[in-house]
Every structure is written in structure tokens, then in C-alpha cells.
Amino acid sequence: QVQLKETGPGLVQPTQTLSITCTVSGFSLTSYYMQWVRQTPGKGLEWMGFIRSGGSTEYNSEFKSRLSISRDTSKNQVFLKMNSLKTEDTGVYYCARAERRVQVMDAWGQGASVTVSS
């Protein structure tokens, strides 16, 4: 059974760094791309970036300067780190699995809610 679960801090102060972990089961990180997508209040879905099955990464240019995606295949975990947080970064952060050729997201976590506030 394919499962993805995000865990994050809930509350982060402005200018600080956000760290979220996505723990997966039922499939191998070396066979799929792992995506990060966020949804800010009142807005739609926003693709942030992905890590390929081979370990290289791509980022949305909007986040490129402050976003990092990495993984630990031995622990079946994918990590999102984003620095210089602003209040506008408040939202729900999802990890999703994507088949590598088509890049369609066929399994999603339930999302990690993040509030950026002092």
C-alpha cells in the first residue's frame, strides 16, 4: 500500500528556515520522482520542485534561491528545506509521487500545515 506522510513544525518565525520531512512506504524512492507542491490561503496549487529517482533536483524559479530538496533512501524519506521564510509562505505543503516519464502525481500525502508568524 502506497503511503506518504509529511511532518513539519507547524509554526515558523519569519526569516527562519522551514524543514518538512516526507516519509513514504509501499514504493521505492529510486523508482519515482518526488514532488513538493504547496497551497497558500485562498490560492491554488503551486509546484515547488522535485527530486528525481536518480537524486538530482529541479526547482521552480520562484523558489530556486531559497529551496532545497534532498532525500535519504535508506529511511524512505524526502526533505524540503526553505529559508528566509515570509508570512506569505503560510500554507499547506504536500509531497507527491510522480511517475518519472510522465510526471503525473498519482499519490499524495495529506499535507503539512505551516504558519509563518512571529
Residues that bind another protein (CB under 8 A): 35, 37, 44-47, 50, 58, 60-61, 94, 96, 98, 102-106, 108-111
Q: Residue 8 or 111: which CB sits closer to another protein?
A: 111
**Residue owning grid cell 500500500:** 1
Q: Residue 7 or 13: which CB sits closer to another protein?
A: 7
Nearest-angstrom CA–CA distance, 79 and 67: 11
Nearest-angstrom CA–CA distance, 48 and 24: 19
Please check whether residue 27 is in contact with residue 73, taking contact to mean a CB–CB distance below 8 angstroms. Answer: no
Q: How far is the CB of 118 from another protein (least distance, A)?
A: 27
Q: How far is the CB of 108 from another protein (least distance, A)?
A: 4
Nearest-angstrom CA–CA distance, 1 and 103: 20
Q: Residue 14 or 55: which CB sits closer to another protein?
A: 55
Q: Residue 17 or 99: which CB sits closer to another protein?
A: 99
Q: How far is the CB of 45 from another protein (least distance, A)?
A: 4
Q: How far is the CB of 106 from another protein (least distance, A)?
A: 5
Is the torsion defined by CA of 9, 68, 65, 97 positive or negative? negative
Q: Which three cell numbers stand for residue 26?
A: 509501499
